[in-house]
Amino acid sequence: MRKTTRRRFVRATTAAGAAGIAGCAGMLESSDGTNSSSGETYEVGHGDYQTTVDAGNFPERLYVYAVQSGWSNWPAIMKSFEETYGVALNDDDRSSGEALKDLRSHAQNPTHSAYNGGYTYGILAMQDDLTRAYKPENWDTVPDKLKSDNGHMTATRRMTTAVTYRKDIYEERGLDEPETWEDLLHPDVTKDLALQTPTAAVGLASALSINNARGGSMDDVQPVVDYYEKIQEGGAEFTDNFLAQFTKGEYATFVRYDYSGLNLKYNNADIDEEKVGVTLLKGKNGNKGAFNQPYGFGMLKGAPNPGACKLFMDYVLSKEGQKQFLDAYVRPIRAPELEMPDEFPSQKTYSNAEFQVDYQRLVAKQSDLIDEIESKAGL
**Which numeric CATH code is attached to 160-292+346-377?**
3.40.190.10
d(CA 290, CA 126): 27
CA pseudo-torsion sign 341, 345, 351, 356: negative
User: What is d(CA 158, CA 362) in angstroms, rounded to the nearest whole number?
Assistant: 16
24 confidence band (pLDDT: 50, 70, 90): very low
Candidates 183, 197, 199; CA nearest to 253 is 183
Exposed, middle or buried, 324 (CB in 10 Å: 0-12/13-18/19+)? buried
**CATH annotation of 28-158+295-337:** 3.40.190.10
The pLDDT score that the predictor gives to residue 363 is 87
The more confidently predicted of residues 36 and 65 is 65
pLDDT of amino acid 50: 97
Q: Is the pLDDT of residue 18 over 90?
A: no
CB atoms near residue 361 (< 10 Å): 12
Which phi and psi angles does 268 have, rounded to 5°? -120, 120
Distance from C-alpha of 358 to C-alpha of 291, rounded to nearest angstrom:
12
Whether 28-158+295-337 shares its CATH topology with 160-292+346-377 is answered: yes
Cα-Cα-Cα-Cα dihedral sign, residues 228, 234, 239, 243:
negative
In the chain, alpha helices (H)? 74-85, 96-105, 119-127, 167-172, 187-190, 201-213, 222-233, 243-248, 258-267, 306-317, 319-326, 347-353, 359-377
Q: Is 118 helix (H, G, I), strand (E, B) or coil?
A: strand
The secondary structure of residue 249, as a DSSP letter, is: T
pLDDT of residue 284: 82
> H helices of 15-139, where?
74-85, 96-105, 119-127
Q: Is pLDDT of 250 > 70?
A: yes
What is the C-alpha to C-alpha distance for residues 92 and 322, in angstroms, rounded to an integer? 20
* pLDDT mean across residues, the chain: 88
Q: Of 37-46, 319-328, 357-366, where does the model show the most confidence?
A: 319-328
Residue 124 confidence (pLDDT) above 80: yes
Q: Does residue 146 contact residue 155 with C-beta atoms inside 8 Å?
A: yes
Are 203 and 246 in contact, with CB atoms under 8 Å apart? no
What is the per-residue pLDDT for 299?
A: 97
Q: What does the alpha-carbon distance between residue 313 and residue 319 come to, in Å, rounded to a whole number?
A: 12
Query: Taking Cα atoms as reference points, which of 213, 203, 153 lies closest to residue 181?
Result: 213
Pairwise CA distance, residues 239 & 199, whole Å: 11
- Distance between CA atoms of residues 61 and 111, nearest Å: 12
Smallest Cα–Cα separation from 252: which of 333, 182, 171, 322?
171
Residue ranges per structural domain of the chain? 28-158+295-337, 160-292+346-377
Q: What is the identity of the amino acid at 213? A: A
Q: What is the pLDDT of residue 23?
A: 34
Residue type at 303 in one-letter notation: A
Please say if the pLDDT value at position 1 is more than 50: no
Residue 75 predicted with pLDDT over 80: yes
